[in-house]
Amino acid sequence: MLIHLPPGVDSDEREIVIEVTKGTSLAEALKLAGHRAPFVAQLIAGAGSTPEGTFLFILNGERVNLDQANHIHLCGNDQLYIVPPILGG
């Protein structure tokens, strides 16, 4: 699967490829991504929230909630976009 990180995060990579097998959950994939990008680990620890606001998780064009990540099973061609909160006024 491919995880797209938002711009401006402290990571060497903007995209993270995670090898998934049948039955791999989104929670497991995010944990693996957290080993490569500390931003993802921090985001998971905060249940998707940061001091700037709550991030959106878009899997294959559909919004997903992190509290359901253990129940969402992945395929190798899945794509997850992590979308930062909209700030401004």
Structural domain boundaries in the chain: 2-83
Q: Mapping DSSP to helix (H, G, I), strand (E, B) and coil, where does residue 26 land?
A: helix
Give strand pairing partners of 66.
none
Confidence (pTM): 0.88
Do the beta carbons of residue 36 and residue 13 sit within 8 Å?
yes
pLDDT by position in tens, the chain (length 89): 999 998 877 667 789 999 999 889 999 999 999 998 888 999 999 888 888 889 999 999 999 999 999 999 999 899 999 999 886 55
Rounded Cα–Cα distance for residues 18 and 88 (Å): 33
The CATH architecture assigned to 2-83 reads: Roll (3.10)
